[in-house]
Amino acid sequence: MIITNNHLHHNPIGVICSDRCSNILIEGNVVEHNTDHGIFFSRNMYDSIARNNHVSNTTSGITVSESPNNQIYDNTIDGATSQGIRLFNPELPDDGVTEGNIVYNNIITSSEDGIAAARSHDNIVENTTFSDIESSEYSLSGDSSITIRGQQFDNALIAQEGSATENHVEIVDSGIIEVTEGETDEEENDDDGSGDDEEGEGNLYNTYNEPFRRTLSDGDSITVNSSS
């Protein structure tokens, strides 16, 4: 099935394919003012693509639930009140699992969280452009794992959310990164305006030589910047 060049608006969900869908192409759609999800990969949707869509003003821009081996790329998402892109499994998945998905070259703006992984594993996110993210660029919960690849970081917050679970983040092929514990404030300055150069300095890692790996739990977070 091919779903292309539609204007999908003012529904609970803009596009949903559910229950063993495969080889679906969702392309070139304007998806706006839908209350729950803009685009929803649901219940063992696999080997499918969402690309070149503009999704705005919804709760979750693009959600993948119980669905493996899909590609989500070249989409623009703005105004998501929860997550721009959500990689999700329910507590007891029975139709499939969200794994093996590749999410790349997407733009996420003016949203609460950028990319969220909830009870999902072994998905790759690559080369995402973030701006005006309210909470965190990457949010992990429910013993999730995520691989971030080929990313330029600009004060990106990677945070554990929800209950005290162990969540794993891996950063690869992203050059030299500076990792600081917790959330930082780039605009925090002393009274004289000079700032505190020592405060919040992080450690450097060359992700071309070796993947950076970190486990987040109990509300842990890290801030990542690319180092010139």
- Total domains present in the chain: 1
Instruction: Check if the beta carbon of residue 161 is closer than 8 Å to that of residue 137.
Output: no
Nearest to 14 by CA among 46, 50, 61, 48: 61
- Residue 24 CB contacts under 8 Å (≥ 6 apart), including other chains: 1, 2, 3, 17, 45, 48, 49
Instruction: Check if the beta carbon of residue 201 is closer than 8 Å to that of residue 224.
Output: no
Enclosing domain of residue 170? 2-226
- Which residue positions in the chain have pLDDT lower than 50? 187-199
Element (H, E) at 129: strand 129-133
> What pLDDT does residue 45 have?
97
Residue pLDDT, tens place only, 12-31 = 999 999 999 999 999 999 99
Instruction: Check if the beta carbon of residue 114 is closer than 8 Å to that of residue 83.
Output: yes
> What pLDDT does residue 186 have?
54
Q: What's the whole-model pTM score?
A: 0.92
> What pLDDT does residue 197 have?
40
Angular region, 54: left φ>0, alpha ψ -120 to 50, beta rest: beta
